[in-house]
Amino acid sequence: MVPPEAGREVTSHLGGPLLLLASSASLQSSAALATIVFAVYGPVGTGALRFAFAAPVLLLVARPALRGRSRDFWLCATALGVTLPALNFTLYGAISRLPLGTVVTLQYLGPLTLALVGIRRRLDLVWVAAACGGVGLITGGPGGGSTVGVLLALGAAAITMASLILSRQLATASAGLDGMAVAVAIAACLSLPAALPAALATDAAYELGVIAAVAVLGLSVPYALEYVAIRAVSVKTFSVLLSLDPAIAALAGVLWLGQRLGMSEAIGIGLVVVASSGVMATRR
């Protein structure tokens, strides 16, 4: 018979990774769901409405105190609040032109580049070669035919790098989800000029319900799950599991949108996942 302490230990070890996988599944499912209303609101309108719905939820959950905040907090929160809409608009623009798995794989080049900055080991060159080979297969395959989509996805990768740096700085100047809640609220205010016309484009409850689901699944749920998970797993484990995002995005595209990737795209996504996982698993 297994002692109760052993069962609790196994649950503890599995809980963090499962939360991270659930966070990624929620995020990529929301991106797939967003494509349903692109025809009504467009990628920019969909992204703007996403912030308009998500900001109140995060503010209600985090209840951030606004008084007594440091100058660094407001600078980081404002900078991230400006960056988030730019990231969302470029990402949705790419998703409207390319398969979801392809876009997220190209976007993940941002975090991968950050991880490879200042490489000094020969092993890291293997990961660079794998990532470059993966990108070549993705952009050269049938699903990589949209030049505009590829450029938008690469733009999203660059903006993702900036948002990661700002998020880390904001995390040091705040506690819990309050910094992110403020940043998302700023993003909602900045994208309001695009959100209002989009909201008036239709009064159908179905489309607005989809946007609400996109906001909750794409912002509120992932941030909350990752905040809890990072307390239960090591930073290395956290990074390796997040490296699975491209594969999970490809699966979400197949399950929710019926997208089919060619052999070259599938291998390319696999190479990028292997490269990013390898970098995170072997870094000191």
Cα–Cα distance, 272 to 136 (Å, whole number):
10
Mean pLDDT value across residues 1-11: 40
For 73-116, the pLDDT digits (tens) are 999 999 999 999 999 999 999 999 999 999 999 999 988 888 78
**118's torsion region: left (phi>0), alpha (psi -120 to 50) or beta?**
left
Is-contact 271 131, C-beta < 8 A? yes
pLDDT at residue 11, as a whole number: 40
Structure tokens at 132: 């470059």
pLDDT tens digits for range 219-241:
889 988 887 787 777 777 777 88
104: its two tokens = 């997220």
Q: How far apart are CA 87 and CA 165, in angstroms?
A: 14
Rounded to an integer, what distance in angstroms lies between the CA atom of residue 213 and that of residue 222? 13
**What is the share, in percent, of the chain residues with pLDDT greater than 90?**
52
Q: Where are the domains of the chain?
A: 17-282
Give percent helix, percent strand, percent coil of the chain, each to the nearest 5: 85, 0, 15
pTM as predicted: 0.87
> What is the number of residues in the chain?
284
- Report yes or no: 184 and 64 within 8 Å, Cβ to Cβ: no
